[in-house]
Structure 1
Amino acid sequence: MLLGLAAGFVARALPDARGLTTALDLIGSSFVQLLKVLVPPLVFASIVSSISNLRALSNASRLVTQTLLWFGITALIAVSIGIALALVIQPGVGAGADAAAAAAPRTVGTWLDFLKGLVPANVLGLGASTKLVDGAPSTNLGFNVLQIVVISVLAGIAALKVGEAGEPFLAFARSLLAVVRKLLAWLIALSPIGAFGLFGHAVATYGWDSLARLGWFAGAVYLGLGLVLLGVYPALLVLHGLSPARFFRAALPAIQLGFVTRSSIGTLPATEAVAERLGVDRSYASFAVPVASTTKMDGCAAIYPAIAAIFVAQFYGLPLGLTDYASLVLVSVIGSAATAGLTGALVMLTLALSTLGLPLEGAGLLLAIDPILDMGRTAVNVAGQALVTYIVAHREGLVTGDALDPALVPAE
């Protein structure tokens, strides 16, 4: 990352550095693309295998309930911090943003689109999107990871229900998982090179100049992210008698990768590796981490939309009431899956703005610095995904070698 930072500043300083910027982009984007190629088979094989393994556990339904419950608890804490910071700092009052830059984004999140996105369009979860590139339409194919999760869960349950006829299918899923894990191990070994390209390209392309115009807003977002990552998460670990130092030693590689890739889905393999290093039972981790990577977004879906929505309201001088703040909490806690499979939080932000009846053009004010904010948001997303997996596994006795620090165990 330091070498990438240096390369990015060199590219910005040179009068003609298109070659260096292109090289950094090629290195970083190639690494992320390879990660995303492996994500669909990883998610499918992991969830199908984990469902077959969870049948041996008497508390499988409790595990699912506890996982979803802790998703909601941590999201509630995160969005509450975001709302409090926005009301105290008031980043939208006297903001230096140019009102002329306000423009409604082409991609807008709605509850209807979210619900429709849960229904698989095909067995591969494959979708297509078209956008204009240099005035010409360009169609891109991509996987809807949330749909893959739905397909995988249903396929795993069906395989169990058909009994002996489903055993070859489950054996195939376990074999596929082993092969994909080996491929991922090779790819993750290249993550320092990918981080160099990604971070360097981000600095070369966006720089830090635009932060000056929205300094209070960016400061509020990063302060909120820091409070959750370095305050709330360690506190939750301590309350469970777990060592924050142990957790962050294991999670740091994934958090760093999330910071530079800006993709929770792309970081999924590294997040699974975190769970393994912490001793979380593989049958549970292979279920919880893929689900968390698509639906657990404390940074993108809780802290950021809370601060951004209040920023937009303050910028336009529109008052918000208690019911608006309650709606914002509701959107953040149950709407996280709306960001599944996407880089950035634009869909979640527009979903929050439309729910509160705020001008969608306000989102256009924040797009200039979104890539810089997205790095911090994704790092917190990844940390939260690993944290919930670790805490639930610990509560249910699914952490091997789970040595508690006596100094951290709460008194009875």
Structure 2
Amino acid sequence: MSQATRILLALIAGLVIGIAAASASADWALAATKITQPIGSAWLHGLQMVIVPLIVGLLVTGVGATADAARAGRIAGRSVVMFVILLWSATLMSALLVPMLLKLWPLPTAWAEALRTSLSRAAAPAGTVPNLGAFFDTVVPTNVVTAAAADAFLPLTVFAITFAFAITRLPPEPRALLTGFFQAIVDTMLVIITWVLKLAPIGIFALAYGVGAQTGAAAFGALLHYIVTVSAIGLVVLLAAYPVAAIFGRVGILRFARAVAPAQAVAISTQSSLASLPAMLKASAELGAPATSAGITLPIAVAIFRATSPAMNLAVALYVAHLLGMPIGPGALAAGVATAAITTMGSVSLPGTISFFASVAPVAVAMGVPIEALGLLVAVETIPDLFRTVGNVTMDVAVTISVARADGGAAEPEAEIVT
């Protein structure tokens, strides 16, 4: 049984037992949360303790990976430029679309209030993000250690980004030394996250029991609402790959759809961009990208470019804020957009639950959004993760064709060229 399956079963069992206990005896069910809630909170604290070093490490390695790839040559440089443009465009799209979607299709008030009450006991402040009035006064930290200790993640993010760009200006030897040091920090934090997630079925069961006991069946409806909302953002990014291929790759949309379909099938069955690489290479070749171009762009794409990740990571953070009734001001939204777009470039390709916490938690914390709800949302990540993987694979092929076209390497029959 996979870890994702165990976590999902723990979620369902916790909710069902909590609902059943509340139906049998509401007082007894709520009294039991005095035991289950501290267990769930302790598990969440194990995840929260790695957030500060993980954010700094991902920002530094993300900027470093982008700079190193851009130095690798003409094709690599063009690929990275297009990656960055698409990542930031997708993230900004998410920042605009998610609030609109939640306004048009909000979580029912009764469900939101019930979940908010049940999660509030496990909540821990995720940090203070200044409003727009205090933005310019606090955005640059006077003491980075104090900012980290106070969980002031917006100024900490600004410092980490500035520090990361400064590292790229160093000579190769010290640059490699510092980048390797922060990569080691990221890898170490991921090991700790792996350890903590081995206890995820216990922690999630404890949290889910409290939610089920206090909210009843509303929890299932809220989780479905979350799945649809976040998956919709991944679907938008996936569909955007088709016009990207048509406009910049000069490939007919139907032809692109036929060529990329086998790679999408592999992505669905494996939920891995890396496993889809051979199929992506074949699709790119069928669409006219030379092996010399695709052989550079696609490996870089699999390593550092995940088109759907920043948009969907930001969507998760915005959804949690909506769930908890937290207003997100311009300063918090700017911190979330920057963190989502940049940390994606430095995140490693990990499956399931590990990548969910490693990529979403820094965004949520940078925005000042508590992460206790992530303990429940990770259990249903399997469905949004399908949209993540298929969207990434589709956009990887679209970018590969576009870079090949810009390099003069992709040639389609005249009838297939989109004008």
Q: Give the TM-score normalised by structure 1.
A: 0.57
Residue deviations 1:220-255 (CA, integer Å, cap 9, x gap): 22222222222x222223323321111121111111
Structure 1 position 84 matched with structure 2 position 96: yes
1:214 to 214, 217, 223: 223
Q: 2:311: which partner in 1? A: 303
Kept in 2, the 8 Å contact 1:67–1:288? The answer is: yes
Residue deviations 1:190-215 (CA, integer Å, cap 9, x gap): xxxxxxxxxxxxxxxxxxx9863323
Q: 1:337: which partner in 2? A: 345
Structure 1 position 131 matched with structure 2 position 195: yes
1:376 partner letter: F
2:267 to 251, 255, 258: 258
Give the length in aligned residue pairs: 273
Instruction: Please give the alpha-carbon distance, in whole angstroms, between the structure 2 residues aligned to 1:92 and 1:358.
Output: 18
Instruction: Please give the alpha-carbon distance, in whole angstroms, between the structure 2 residues aligned to 1:312 and 1:374.
Output: 17
Question: Secondary structure at the residue paired with 2:413?
Answer: coil
Change (3 A) 1:407 1:379: closer
Residue deviations 1:10-42 (CA, integer Å, cap 9, x gap): xxxxxxxxxxxxxxxxxxxxxxxxxxxxxxxxx
Kept in 1, the 8 Å contact 2:87–2:341? The answer is: yes
Instruction: Please give the alpha-carbon distance, in whole angstroms, between the structure 1 residues aligned to 2:245 and 2:402.
Output: 7
Structure 1 position 373 matched with structure 2 position 389: no
Instruction: Please give the alpha-carbon distance, in whole angstroms, between the structure 2 residues aligned to 1:236 and 1:132.
Output: 40
Instruction: Please give the alpha-carbon distance, in whole angstroms, between the structure 2 residues aligned to 1:210 and 1:340.
Output: 32
Instruction: Please give the alpha-carbon distance, in whole angstroms, between the structure 1 residues aligned to 2:303 and 2:389.
Output: 12
CA RMSD of aligned residues (A): 3.8
Kept in 1, the 8 Å contact 2:290–2:409? The answer is: yes
1:352 to 353, 359, 363: 363
Q: 1:73: which partner in 2? A: 85
Q: Per-residue deviation at 1:350? A: 0.6
Change (3 A) 1:93 1:62: farther
Alignment of 1:223-238 (within 5 A): 223-230=232-239, 232-238=240-246
Structure 1 position 119 matched with structure 2 position 180: yes
Kept in 2, the 8 Å contact 1:294–1:341? The answer is: yes
Question: Secondary structure at the residue paired with 1:76?
Answer: helix
Structure 1 position 64 matched with structure 2 position 64: no
2:91 partner letter: V
Question: Secondary structure at the residue paired with 1:270?
Answer: helix
Question: Secondary structure at the residue paired with 2:302?
Answer: helix
Residue deviations 1:171-206 (CA, integer Å, cap 9, x gap): xxxxxxxxxxxxxxxxxxxxxxxxxxxxxxxxxxxx
Q: 1:25: which partner in 2? A: none
Bigger mean CA deviation after superposition, 80-89 or 386-395: 80-89
Q: Which has the higher helix share?
A: 2
Question: Secondary structure at the residue paired with 1:279?
Answer: coil
2:253 partner letter: P
Q: Give the TM-score normalised by structure 2.
A: 0.56
1:393 to 382, 404, 412: 404
Change (3 A) 1:71 1:132: closer
Q: Per-residue deviation at 1:406? A: 6.7
Change (3 A) 1:246 1:359: same
2:327 partner letter: P
Change (3 A) 1:259 1:212: farther
Q: 2:372: which partner in 1? A: 361
Question: Secondary structure at the residue paired with 1:131?
Answer: helix
Q: Per-residue deviation at 1:393? A: 0.6
Instruction: Please give the alpha-carbon distance, in whole angstroms, between the structure 1 residues aligned to 2:318 and 2:351.
Output: 22
Instruction: Please give the alpha-carbon distance, in whole angstroms, between the structure 1 residues aligned to 2:333 and 2:75.
Output: 31
Q: Per-residue deviation at 1:377? A: 1.1
Kept in 2, the 8 Å contact 1:305–1:349? The answer is: yes
Q: Per-residue deviation at 1:117? A: 10
2:280 partner letter: T
Change (3 A) 1:311 1:93: farther
Kept in 1, the 8 Å contact 2:242–2:398? The answer is: no
Change (3 A) 1:340 1:270: farther
Q: 2:33: which partner in 1? A: none
Unaligned runs of 5+ in 1: 1-50, 52-58, 136-208
How many percent identity over aligned positions? 23
Q: Per-residue deviation at 1:259? A: 2.0
Q: 1:279: which partner in 2? A: 288
Change (3 A) 1:104 1:349: farther
